[in-house]
Structure 1
Protein backbone atom coordinates (compact mmCIF):
# COMPACT_ATOMS: atom_id res chain seq x y z
CA UNK A 1 0.00 0.00 0.00
CA UNK A 2 1.40 3.35 -1.07
CA UNK A 3 2.20 5.75 1.81
CA UNK A 4 -0.22 8.66 1.87
CA UNK A 5 -2.35 10.90 4.04
CA UNK A 6 -6.05 10.13 3.60
CA UNK A 7 -8.54 13.01 3.30
CA UNK A 8 -12.19 12.13 3.88
CA UNK A 9 -14.48 14.95 2.81
CA UNK A 10 -18.13 15.87 2.63
CA UNK A 11 -17.19 19.53 2.48
CA UNK A 12 -16.80 22.41 0.04
CA UNK A 13 -14.56 21.83 -2.98
CA UNK A 14 -12.74 25.15 -2.60
CA UNK A 15 -11.59 24.17 0.90
CA UNK A 16 -10.68 20.67 -0.26
CA UNK A 17 -8.45 22.16 -2.98
CA UNK A 18 -6.64 24.21 -0.34
CA UNK A 19 -6.12 21.20 1.93
CA UNK A 20 -4.60 19.33 -1.02
CA UNK A 21 -2.42 22.33 -1.90
CA UNK A 22 -1.08 22.42 1.67
CA UNK A 23 -0.18 18.74 1.51
CA UNK A 24 1.48 19.23 -1.88
CA UNK A 25 3.51 22.20 -0.62
CA UNK A 26 5.04 19.95 2.01
CA UNK A 27 5.65 17.14 -0.50
CA UNK A 28 3.48 14.51 1.17
CA UNK A 29 1.29 12.23 -0.99
CA UNK A 30 -2.42 12.06 -0.27
CA UNK A 31 -5.65 10.41 -1.34
CA UNK A 32 -9.04 12.15 -1.34
CA UNK A 33 -12.07 10.00 -0.60
CA UNK A 34 -15.42 11.81 -0.98
CA UNK A 35 -18.10 11.01 1.60
CA UNK A 36 -21.83 11.73 1.41
CA UNK A 37 -22.03 13.01 4.98
CA UNK A 38 -20.11 12.98 8.21
CA UNK A 39 -18.76 15.13 10.99
CA UNK A 40 -15.18 16.30 10.57
CA UNK A 41 -14.13 14.62 13.82
CA UNK A 42 -15.35 11.21 12.68
CA UNK A 43 -14.06 11.68 9.14
CA UNK A 44 -10.60 12.65 10.39
CA UNK A 45 -10.32 9.72 12.77
CA UNK A 46 -11.47 7.25 10.11
CA UNK A 47 -9.06 8.82 7.61
CA UNK A 48 -6.14 8.45 10.02
CA UNK A 49 -7.01 4.79 10.56
CA UNK A 50 -7.12 4.21 6.76
CA UNK A 51 -3.84 6.02 6.11
CA UNK A 52 -0.62 3.98 5.87
CA UNK A 53 1.06 7.08 7.37
CA UNK A 54 -1.50 7.08 10.23
CA UNK A 55 -2.49 10.70 9.49
CA UNK A 56 -5.87 11.78 8.21
CA UNK A 57 -7.84 14.93 7.48
CA UNK A 58 -11.60 15.32 7.82
CA UNK A 59 -13.53 18.13 6.15
CA UNK A 60 -17.28 18.37 6.74
CA UNK A 61 -20.09 20.32 5.09
CA UNK A 62 -19.70 23.24 7.53
CA UNK A 63 -16.04 23.73 6.56
CA UNK A 64 -14.73 22.38 9.86
CA UNK A 65 -11.32 20.82 9.20
CA UNK A 66 -9.67 18.37 11.57
CA UNK A 67 -6.26 16.69 11.34
CA UNK A 68 -5.94 13.42 13.24
CA UNK A 69 -3.36 10.74 14.00
CA UNK A 70 -4.49 7.15 14.42
CA UNK A 71 -2.70 6.81 17.77
CA UNK A 72 -4.76 9.63 19.32
CA UNK A 73 -8.24 9.22 20.86
CA UNK A 74 -11.14 10.30 18.63
CA UNK A 75 -11.81 13.45 20.68
CA UNK A 76 -8.15 14.55 20.79
CA UNK A 77 -7.13 15.55 17.25
CA UNK A 78 -3.81 17.04 16.21
CA UNK A 79 -5.59 20.22 15.12
CA UNK A 80 -9.10 21.57 14.67
CA UNK A 81 -9.97 24.64 12.62
CA UNK A 82 -13.52 25.95 12.55
CA UNK A 83 -12.65 28.89 10.30
CA UNK A 84 -14.02 27.86 6.91
CA UNK A 85 -11.46 29.91 5.01
CA UNK A 86 -9.00 28.95 2.28
CA UNK A 87 -6.10 29.96 4.56
CA UNK A 88 -7.29 27.69 7.38
CA UNK A 89 -7.80 24.79 4.99
CA UNK A 90 -4.33 25.18 3.48
CA UNK A 91 -2.82 25.36 6.98
CA UNK A 92 -4.63 22.11 7.86
CA UNK A 93 -3.11 20.41 4.82
CA UNK A 94 0.36 21.67 5.69
CA UNK A 95 -0.04 20.57 9.31
CA UNK A 96 -1.16 17.09 8.29
CA UNK A 97 1.98 16.81 6.18
CA UNK A 98 4.12 18.16 9.00
CA UNK A 99 2.86 15.45 11.35
CA UNK A 100 4.13 12.90 8.83
CA UNK A 101 7.59 14.47 8.52
CA UNK A 102 7.83 15.41 12.23
CA UNK A 103 8.08 19.14 11.57
CA UNK A 104 6.64 21.83 13.88
CA UNK A 105 2.96 22.58 13.33
CA UNK A 106 1.63 25.99 12.37
CA UNK A 107 -1.39 26.57 14.61
CA UNK A 108 -1.40 30.35 14.36
CA UNK A 109 -3.50 32.56 12.12
CA UNK A 110 -1.28 34.52 9.71
CA UNK A 111 -0.86 38.16 10.69
Structure 2
Protein backbone atom coordinates (compact mmCIF):
# COMPACT_ATOMS: atom_id res chain seq x y z
CA UNK A 1 0.00 0.00 0.00
CA UNK A 2 1.39 3.40 -0.93
CA UNK A 3 1.61 6.29 1.54
CA UNK A 4 -1.21 8.07 -0.33
CA UNK A 5 -3.44 5.02 -0.08
CA UNK A 6 -2.59 4.59 3.60
CA UNK A 7 -3.53 8.19 4.43
CA UNK A 8 -6.82 7.86 2.54
CA UNK A 9 -7.53 4.55 4.26
CA UNK A 10 -6.98 5.96 7.75
CA UNK A 11 -9.18 8.98 7.01
CA UNK A 12 -11.90 6.75 5.55
CA UNK A 13 -11.84 4.43 8.57
CA UNK A 14 -12.16 7.39 10.94
CA UNK A 15 -14.74 9.21 8.79
CA UNK A 16 -17.52 6.69 9.43
CA UNK A 17 -17.59 6.75 13.23
CA UNK A 18 -16.84 10.47 13.46
CA UNK A 19 -19.57 11.30 10.96
CA UNK A 20 -21.95 9.23 13.08
CA UNK A 21 -20.99 11.28 16.16
CA UNK A 22 -20.68 14.74 14.61
CA UNK A 23 -22.20 14.48 11.14
CA UNK A 24 -20.39 14.74 7.82
CA UNK A 25 -19.81 18.46 8.34
CA UNK A 26 -18.36 17.79 11.79
CA UNK A 27 -15.89 15.27 10.39
CA UNK A 28 -14.92 17.65 7.59
CA UNK A 29 -14.38 20.48 10.09
CA UNK A 30 -12.22 18.29 12.30
CA UNK A 31 -10.13 17.14 9.33
CA UNK A 32 -9.79 20.74 8.09
CA UNK A 33 -8.56 21.84 11.51
CA UNK A 34 -6.11 18.93 11.65
CA UNK A 35 -4.83 19.90 8.21
CA UNK A 36 -4.46 23.55 9.23
CA UNK A 37 -2.39 22.52 12.27
CA UNK A 38 -0.35 20.12 10.11
CA UNK A 39 0.42 22.86 7.60
CA UNK A 40 1.85 24.96 10.43
CA UNK A 41 4.30 22.13 11.13
CA UNK A 42 5.01 21.13 7.53
CA UNK A 43 4.54 23.78 4.87
CA UNK A 44 5.01 21.09 2.21
CA UNK A 45 1.37 20.16 2.94
CA UNK A 46 0.11 23.52 1.63
CA UNK A 47 -1.17 21.82 -1.54
CA UNK A 48 -3.47 19.53 0.45
CA UNK A 49 -7.13 20.47 0.81
CA UNK A 50 -10.22 18.92 2.33
CA UNK A 51 -12.98 18.37 -0.23
CA UNK A 52 -16.62 19.17 0.67
CA UNK A 53 -17.25 15.41 1.05
CA UNK A 54 -14.41 15.13 3.60
CA UNK A 55 -11.85 13.51 1.32
CA UNK A 56 -8.35 14.87 0.79
CA UNK A 57 -7.15 16.47 -2.43
CA UNK A 58 -3.58 17.23 -3.41
CA UNK A 59 -1.94 14.15 -1.92
CA UNK A 60 0.97 12.87 -3.96
CA UNK A 61 3.92 10.59 -3.48
CA UNK A 62 6.27 13.43 -2.59
CA UNK A 63 4.16 14.83 0.25
CA UNK A 64 2.43 11.66 1.44
CA UNK A 65 5.32 10.79 3.73
CA UNK A 66 4.10 13.67 5.93
CA UNK A 67 0.65 12.14 6.31
CA UNK A 68 1.51 10.93 9.79
CA UNK A 69 1.54 14.55 10.93
CA UNK A 70 -2.06 14.95 9.71
CA UNK A 71 -3.19 11.70 11.32
CA UNK A 72 -1.53 12.62 14.62
CA UNK A 73 -3.26 16.01 14.58
CA UNK A 74 -6.61 14.38 13.78
CA UNK A 75 -6.29 11.89 16.62
CA UNK A 76 -5.17 14.66 18.96
CA UNK A 77 -8.25 16.70 18.07
CA UNK A 78 -10.47 13.65 18.54
CA UNK A 79 -9.02 13.22 22.02
CA UNK A 80 -9.66 16.88 22.80
CA UNK A 81 -13.26 16.91 21.58
CA UNK A 82 -14.59 13.44 22.37
CA UNK A 83 -12.17 12.32 25.07
CA UNK A 84 -9.40 9.80 25.37
CA UNK A 85 -11.62 6.83 26.16
CA UNK A 86 -13.98 7.27 23.20
CA UNK A 87 -11.08 8.03 20.86
CA UNK A 88 -9.33 4.85 21.94
CA UNK A 89 -12.55 2.88 21.46
CA UNK A 90 -12.99 4.27 17.93
CA UNK A 91 -9.38 3.42 17.08
CA UNK A 92 -9.77 -0.10 18.43
CA UNK A 93 -13.00 -0.56 16.47
CA UNK A 94 -11.36 0.66 13.26
CA UNK A 95 -8.21 -1.44 13.82
CA UNK A 96 -9.14 -4.40 16.05
CA UNK A 97 -5.63 -5.88 15.92
CA UNK A 98 -3.94 -2.63 16.97
CA UNK A 99 -1.86 -3.43 20.05
CA UNK A 100 -2.66 -1.19 22.97
CA UNK A 101 1.02 -0.27 23.15
CA UNK A 102 0.81 1.27 19.65
CA UNK A 103 -1.61 3.93 20.90
CA UNK A 104 0.28 6.76 22.55
CA UNK A 105 -1.76 7.20 25.74
CA UNK A 106 -0.46 7.08 29.28
CA UNK A 107 -2.98 4.40 30.12
CA UNK A 108 -4.83 2.08 27.83
CA UNK A 109 -8.28 0.89 28.76
CA UNK A 110 -9.68 -2.38 27.47
CA UNK A 111 -13.09 -2.63 25.86
Q: TM tier, shorter chain?
A: 0.3 to 0.5
Mark the structure with the bigger radius of gyration: 2
**TM-score calculated relative to the size of structure 2:** 0.33
**Higher helix proportion:** 2
**Higher strand proportion:** 1
**TM-score calculated relative to the size of structure 1:** 0.33
